[in-house]
Amino acid sequence: RKEVEQDPGPFNVPEGATVAFNCTYSNSASQSFFWYRQDCRKEPKLLMSVYSSGNEDGRFTAQLNRASQYISLLIRDSKLSDSATYLCVVINNAGKSTFGDGTTLTVKP
């Protein structure tokens, strides 16, 4: 079993839709959690950090559930420009970083 697993999708949604991605992790020593966005195999860019209390930034909401060992990303009112690959990443207390394989989102007019 992979240490970090994501639903690969692809997710094809119309503009304005709400879409949710989940990511599960197996190492309970995991300490930090993030969502990154990657466009066309360019370098990943930070989208959001993820906390147990939840983290909201405009149309994006990220949540961490430590008991069930998963993190989620919710995108509301999808825009064409949201089309990208979304990567979750987990960092353990030794600084080791593990990425999921990514979930591809395509937002269509």
Partner 1 sequence: NAGVTQTPKFQVLKTGQSMTLQCAQDMNHNSMYWYRQDPGMGLRLIYYSASEGTTDKGEVPNGYNVSRLNKREFSLRLESAAPSQTSVYFCASLGGTRYNEQFFGPGTRLTVL
E-only strand ranges, 1-109: 4-6, 11-14, 19-25, 30-38, 45-49, 55-57, 60-65, 70-75, 84-92, 97-99, 103-108
Nearest to partner 1 of 40, 109 (CB atom): 40
Nearest to partner 1 of 46, 80 (CB atom): 46
- The residues that bridge with 27 in the sheet, in sequence order, are none
Q: How far is the CB of 24 from partner 1 (least distance, A)?
A: 14
**7 close to 103: Cβ distance less than 8 angstroms:** yes
**88 close to 35: Cβ distance less than 8 angstroms:** yes
Nearest to partner 1 of 14, 41 (CB atom): 41
Nearest to partner 1 of 18, 49 (CB atom): 49
Which parts of this chain interact with partner 1 (CB under 8 A)?
A: 6, 32, 34, 41-46, 49, 87, 89, 91, 94-102
Q: How far is the CB of 48 from partner 1 (least distance, A)?
A: 9
